[in-house]
């Protein structure tokens, strides 16, 4: 296979990689975005709290604090530019009992030092008025009005789509297995989708960013620990909170929160457990008990029978003062590392992209703006969000929207077909799920599996037995029946 | 969007309850009936239930599911009932504004005189029983696999483990074995079988498939596809027994862990649900608390025999038609003389209907469907108590949670209900 030649290869198509690729798509550059999975955003970007943090929490002066504040600012425009599902709910950090009240003052001081606007300590009565389901033990809260919640899949997909539409080449199922360093500079990476040569390589490989650094001889001291967090989602017909509710932070992190989502569900999580296997996103009996118990400290009425889904993700916790690493490698030429991007990574991603852009420019990469660059990405119709008249109109234009495939979330065949033929095509069940929210409701796909398999088989022109849940190796069907 | 008010009765759901309801509504008089089904064919879950065990009560015959459905379908087609397939009801209001959609007609708005909820049920999922482990491919609910195998013609794996001794799980154990797959066993968390005994004999014993009681899944292992399942034995409190973990290699895990009535539309219409059944509170005419809205079948409570689902549909259809003003009846339905509530007491999980309309004329028989919640393997007495005295009693050979008890209240029992002091009676099994 001929090596592919680029100016910049972005490795890892999570939210950071996708945002970086989009930022670079603005210039006359040949940019490739590569990921080992069958879709973009399948790592930490798709299994996190999906909160656009205000930035009150990171240590003042840290890169995290700067990226979070700036990222939150940028997302306020980006959610419109990229048409991503979101709600600017604000967030509350809840103090329980009189003994936690002084902690709110400290948080307020830290947030103020981080230049976060609108922070305010609110009274017990006001907290309970805004969130009636909260425990009566609440004694007050820090209100951070600039926080919000986002559709975490939608954000990554939208950024990647906008990048692709503006000329970035996307390569999926491209797992990196080797790299070529010549005269102290990284010149090529070898993947299962062939060799990529470039002047610059951006390492946005999430929990594996350290592995890549070590592969090319960069920063042997730097290590990433995968910290797993588990989550539950509740039936919105049974329980609904209105806000993002944090407990008081500890040195272990922001704690187990209870929050609304961009779709109006309520979730609880995450715990934080170091796992030896960086891919270990299994759910555990102990972890599930821990998050439910943690959630009940804030919302005592959470019932396990109202849980409709559970998931877990791993955060990439770096050992460089636990701060983000966003820097051009001192040891290896042509390498820029974006590593240790744990929480608040999602909200920080646009700021990280901006910083990467600046670092490359300062390092001499010529950046000429393309006049045809279009920052706007149009969301595809989400049937569920439309009113009766709009639905009627849509079905008239395309009868595929008249066929409901997912009964709980009201996802239509039209939306599924759209997702399969979008700029970053959905090619497996989970990829459709991430784009359309199908199978995320009460029945968790029991009814839609056979229908979605049929649609994928038809649209991708592959046999039913080749349809997968999440890429090669995850085929749903073994064979046909005897008949 | 214009509102179509030409229908007297609209039935939501074309499964066994909806089919029977549509037919009995139409038979009641000169009423216009529309049956709305979201699937592309009628029969609900029956077409994929290719095993027998259907129809003994209604047809006096042991039929396979598709045949049972077909007999109703033929009658519906002959009966001047409008049917809309591939049509999803999207919204329902207490004023009976019904919004539906399909690819042919687009978005539709109806306001019928009465509505019958017959949406059936859905399966409990992995998340609802909080199964730990990987989210790999190869974990399915039993009903999904039944559809894949019996309708679509595909086998979703080669080596299966089944969690839950419910009927669909056991039936699928046999079906998959016949199709050439290996079924390594059926696990049941509880210390007793949760499905029908006849299915245990015919589906597991006859095929040498082991049943492991007091055992559940403790971990799901696999990257892209399921590789193995860890099982664990549980004590009387259903807590895992340390050291009892076993690893079972398999590429598929089937979940047969219960069914839940599907009531999202009912809630939109303001229908009150019973927290025990998960379905609407209904009286003996299958009327809900919302005037003109009736409910029947698995949407009200999970049944174990389809024949009784059809029978409940017949009752709902008849009364919905009367409410709509079928010829010879007063619009608004029969005057309610008096009602008594039926509360589950000792050893009783659920009672359908929750309210009985007193009718001592002998014209209306009422069928009480009881779900026991205790396993008692001896002769028992089913009693309806008025305060501190039993006023009705029936005999049963045993009490098994897997099997509903069915008792008909005839004129004599109705008289006893009419003479009761309390308005709320308690049903017990002793």
Give the pLDDT score at A439.
79
Q: Please answer yes or no on whether A407 and B86 come within 8 Å at the CB atom.
A: no
Count of the separate structural domains present in chain A: 3
Contact B82, B32 (CB under 8 A): yes
Pick from B141, B101, B97: nearest CA to B122: B141
Name every chain B residue with its beta carbon within 8 A of the beta carbon of A476: 137, 156
pLDDT of amino acid B365: 85
CB neighbours of B60 closer than 8 A, spacing ≥ 6? none
Residues of A in contact with B152 (CB under 8 A): 450, 454, 464
Contact: B132, A288; criterion CB under 8 Å: yes
Instruction: Give the number of residues written for chain B.
Output: 430
Per domain, the residue ranges of chain B are 1-123+258-335, 139-257, 336-430
pLDDT class of A327 with cuts at 50, 70, 90: very high
Query: What pLDDT is attached to residue A238?
Result: 85
pLDDT mean over A308-317: 91
Nearest CB to A285: which of B86, B90, B132?
B132
Q: Residue A447's pLDDT is what?
A: 83
Categorize the per-residue pLDDT at B196 as very low, low, confident or very high, splitting at 50, 70 and 90: confident
Domain match, A239 and A307 both: yes
pLDDT tops 60 at residue B336: no
d(CA A264, CA B197): 43
Q: How confident is the model at residue B127 (pLDDT cuts 50, 70, 90)?
A: confident
Contact A395 B220 (CB under 8 A): no
Q: Are residues A194 and A126 in the same domain?
A: no
- If we measure between CA atoms, which residue out of B195, B253, B184, B187 comes closest to residue B214? B187
Q: Does B99 touch chain A (CB under 8 A)?
A: yes
Q: A345-365 pLDDT, tens per residue?
A: 999 999 999 999 999 999 999
> What are the pLDDT digits (tens) for A270-285?
999 999 999 899 888 8
Within-domain flag for A28: yes
Q: Which CATH class is domain B139-257?
A: alpha beta
Dihedral over Cα of A378, A384, A390, A392: its sign: positive
Task: Give the pLDDT band of residue B335 (cuts 50, 70, 90).
Answer: low
pLDDT higher than threshold 90 for residue B130: no
What is the C-alpha separation between A454 and A448, in angstroms, rounded?
Answer: 10
Annotated active-site positions of A, please? 53
Complex ipTM, two decimals?
0.91
The pLDDT of residue A483 is 66
Question: Would the pLDDT of B164 be above 60?
Answer: yes
Touching A: B residues 135-194, CB under 8 Å: 135-137, 140-141, 143-144, 147-149, 151-158, 179-180
Of B24-33, B186-195, B355-364, which range is least confident? B355-364
Instruction: List Cβ neighbours of B281 (8 Å cut-off, separation of 6 or more).
Output: B272, B273, B274, B288, B289, B354, B355
Domain spanning B1-123+258-335: CATH superfamily? FAD/NAD(P)-binding domain (3.50.50.60)
pLDDT confidence band for B334 (50 / 70 / 90) = low
Chain A neighbors of B220, CB-CB under 8 A: 282
Residues A117 and A247 in one domain: yes
Do both A188 and A309 map to the same domain? no
A276 with A329, same domain: the answer is: no
Q: Is residue B329's pLDDT more than 70?
A: no
A444 and B135 within 8 Å at the Cβ level: the answer is no
Q: What is the pLDDT of residues B200-240, one digit of tens each?
A: 999 999 999 999 999 999 999 999 999 999 999 999 999 99
Is the model's pLDDT at B265 over the cut of 60? yes
Residue A132 is predicted with a pLDDT of 95
Residues A327 and A409 in one domain: no
Report the CATH number that the domain containing residue A104 is assigned in CATH: 3.30.9.10
Cα B336 to its chain centre, rounded Å, is 27
| pLDDT exceeds cutoff 90 at A330 | yes
- pLDDT for residue B37 is more than 90: yes
Distance from CA of A406 to the nearest CA of B (A): 11
Give the pLDDT band of residue B333 (cuts 50, 70, 90).
low
Q: Is residue A188 part of a domain?
A: yes
Q: Which chain A residues touch B143 with a CB distance below 8 Å? A: 446
Q: Which two tokens stand for residue A105?
A: 């003052």
Q: What pLDDT digit, counting tens, does each position of A88-146 carry?
A: 999 999 999 999 999 999 999 999 999 999 999 999 999 999 999 999 999 999 999 99
User: B3 by DSSP, 3-state: which?
Assistant: strand
Q: What is the DSSP letter of B239?
A: P
DSSP labels for B178-216?
Answer: HTT-EEEEEE-SSSS--S-HHHIIIIIGGGT--EETTEE
A142 and A232, same domain (yes or no): yes
pLDDT, tens digit, for every residue of A36-95? 999 999 999 999 999 999 999 999 999 999 999 999 999 999 999 999 999 999 999 999
Determine the pLDDT at residue B144. 95
Same domain assignment for residues A138 and A248: yes
Residue B327, pLDDT > 60, answer: no
CA distances A5 to A24, A215, A430, B204, Å, are 16, 21, 31, 61
For residue A4, pLDDT beyond 60: yes
C-beta separation of A173 from A425 below 8 A:
no
Can you tell me the distance from the alpha carbon of A123 to that of A139, in angstroms, rounded to the nearest whole number? Answer: 7
Decide if B1-123+258-335 and B139-257 have a common fold.
yes
Most trustworthy range by pLDDT among A416-425, B130-139, B332-341: A416-425
Here the CATH number for the domain that contains residue A414 is 1.10.10
Provide the 3-class DSSP secondary structure of residue A47: coil
Q: Provide CB contacts within 8 A for B316, sequence distance 6+.
A: B17, B21, B24, B116, B118, B285, B286, B294, B295, B296
Q: Which of B122, B155, B220 sits opposite A446 (nearest CB)?
A: B122
> Do A432 and A399 share a structural domain?
yes
Q: Are residues A254 and A356 in the same domain?
A: no
What is the CATH architecture of B336-430?
Sandwich (2.60)
What are the chain B neighbours of A454 within 8 Å (beta carbons)?
Answer: 152
A206 and A233 both lie in a single domain: no
**Residue of B15, B89, B122 to mutate for A, most A C-beta atoms under 10 A:** B122
Domain that holds residue A229: 89-146+225-318
CB A449 within 8 A of CB A429: yes
B contact residues 377-416, partner A, Cβ 8 Å cutoff: none
pLDDT at site B115: 98
Q: Tell me: do A235 and A158 sit in the same domain.
A: no
Confidence category of residue B47, pLDDT binned at 50, 70, 90: very high
pLDDT higher than 90, residue B34 = yes
């Amino acid at each position: 296979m001929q090596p592919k030649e680029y100016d910049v290869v972005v490795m890892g198509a999570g939210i950071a990689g996708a945002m970086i690729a989009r930022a670079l798509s603005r210039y006359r550059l040949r940019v490739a975005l590569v990921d080992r999975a069958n879709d973009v955003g399948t790592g930490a970007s798709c299994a996190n709290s999906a909160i656009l943090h205000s930035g009150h929490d990171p240590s003042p002066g840290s890169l995290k604090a700067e990226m979070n504040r700036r990222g939150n600012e940028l997302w306020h425009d980006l959610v419109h530019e990229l048409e991503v599902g979101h709600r600017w709910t604000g967030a509350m950090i809840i103090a329980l009992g009189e003994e936690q009240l002084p902690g709110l003052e400290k948080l307020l001081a830290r947030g103020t030092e981080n230049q976060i606007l609108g922070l305010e300590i609110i009274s017990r009565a006001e907290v309970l008025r805004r969130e009636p389901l909260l425990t009566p033990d609440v004694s007050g809260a820090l209100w951070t009005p600039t926080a919000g919640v986002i559709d975490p899949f939608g954000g990554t997909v939208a950024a990647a789509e906008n990048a692709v539409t503006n000329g970035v080449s996307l390569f999926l199922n491209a797992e990196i297995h080797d790299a070529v360093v010549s005269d102290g500079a990284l010149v090529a990476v070898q993947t299962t989708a062939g060799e990529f040569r470039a002047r610059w390589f951006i390492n946005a490989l999430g929990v594996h960013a350290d592995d890549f650094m070590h592969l090319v001889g960069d920063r042997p001291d730097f290590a990433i620990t995968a910290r797993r967090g588990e989550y539950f989602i509740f039936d919105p017909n049974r329980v609904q909170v209105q806000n993002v509710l944090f407990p008081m932070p500890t040195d272990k992190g922001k704690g187990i929160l209870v929050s609304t989502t961009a779709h109006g569900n309520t979730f609880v999580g995450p715990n934080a457990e170091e796992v030896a296997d960086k891919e270990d996103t299994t759910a555990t009996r102990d972890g599930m008990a821990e998050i439910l118990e943690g959630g009940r400290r804030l919302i005592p009425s959470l019932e396990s029978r109202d849980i409709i889904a559970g998931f877990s993700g791993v955060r990439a916790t770096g050992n460089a003062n636990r701060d983000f690493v966003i820097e051009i490698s001192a040891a290896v030429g042509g390498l820029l590392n974006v590593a240790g991007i744990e929480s608040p990574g999602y909200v920080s991603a646009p700021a990280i992209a901006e910083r990467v852009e600046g670092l490359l420019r300062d390092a001499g990469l010529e950046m000429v703006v393309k006049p045809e660059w279009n920052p706007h990405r149009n969301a595809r119709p989400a049937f569920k969000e439309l009113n009766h008249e709009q639905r009627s109109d849509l079905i008239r234009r395309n009868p595929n929207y008249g066929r409901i495939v997912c009964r709980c979330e009201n996802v239509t065949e039209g939306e599924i077909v759209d997702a399969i033929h979008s700029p970053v095509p959905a090619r497996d069940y989970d990829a459709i799920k991430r784009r359309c929210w199908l199978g995320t409701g009460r029945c968790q796909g029991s009814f839609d599996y056979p229908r979605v398999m049929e649609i994928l088989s038809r649209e991708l022109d592959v046999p039913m037995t080749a349809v997968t849940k999440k890429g090669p190796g995850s085929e749903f069907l073994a064979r046909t029946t005897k008949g | 969007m214009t509102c179509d008010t030409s229908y007297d009765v609209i039935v939501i759901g074309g499964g066994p309850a909806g089919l029977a309801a549509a037919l009995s509504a139409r038979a009641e008089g000169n009423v216009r009936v529309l049956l709305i089904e979201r699937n592309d064919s009628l029969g609900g879950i029956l077409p994929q239930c290719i095993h027998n065990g259907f129809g003994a009560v209604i047809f006096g015959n042991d039929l396979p599911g598709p045949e049972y459905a077909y007999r109703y379908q033929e009658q519906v087609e002959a009966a001047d009932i409008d049917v809309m397939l591939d049509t999803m009801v999207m919204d329902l209001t207490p004023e009976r504004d019904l919004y539906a959609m399909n690819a042919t007609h687009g978005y539709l708005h109806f306001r019928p005189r009465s509505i019958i909820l017959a949406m059936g049920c859905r399966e409990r999922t992995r998340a609802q029983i909080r199964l730990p482990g990987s989210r790999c491919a190869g974990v399915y609910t039993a009903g999904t696999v039944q559809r894949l195998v019996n309708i679509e013609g595909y086998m979703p794996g080669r080596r299966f483990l089944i969690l839950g001794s419910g009927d669909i799980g056991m039936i699928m154990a046999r079906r998959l074995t016949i199709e050439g797959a290996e079924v390594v066993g059926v696990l049941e968390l509880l210390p007793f079988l949760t499905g029908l005994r006849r299915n245990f004999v015919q589906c597991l014993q006859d095929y040498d498939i082991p049943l492991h009681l007091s055992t559940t899944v403790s971990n799901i292992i696999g990257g892209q596809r399921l590789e193995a399942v860890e099982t664990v034995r549980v004590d009387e409190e259903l807590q895992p027994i340390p050291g009892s973990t076993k690893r079972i290699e398999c590429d598929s895990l089937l979940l047969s862990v219960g069914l839940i009535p599907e009531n999202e539309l009912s809630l939109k219409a303001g229908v009150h649900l019973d927290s025990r059944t998960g379905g609407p509170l209904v009286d003996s005419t299958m009327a809900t608390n919302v005037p003109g809205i009736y409910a029947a079948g698995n949407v009200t409570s999970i049944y174990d025999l389809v024949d009784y689902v059809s029978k409940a549909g017949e009752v709902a259809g008849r009364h919905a038609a009367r409410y709509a003003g079928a010829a010879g009846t007063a619009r608004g339905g029969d005057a309610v003389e008096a009602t008594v509530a039926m509360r589950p007491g000792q050893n009783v999980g659920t009672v359908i209907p929750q309210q009985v309309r007193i009718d001592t004329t002998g014209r209306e028989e009422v069928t009480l469907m009881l779900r026991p919640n205790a396993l008692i393997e001896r002769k028992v007495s089913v009693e309806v108590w008025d305060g501190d005295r039993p006023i009705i009693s029936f005999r049963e050979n045993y009490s098994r949670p897997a099997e509903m008890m069915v008792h008909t209240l005839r004129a004599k029992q109705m008289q006893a209900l009419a003479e009761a002091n309390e308005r709320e009676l308690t049903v017990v099994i002793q």
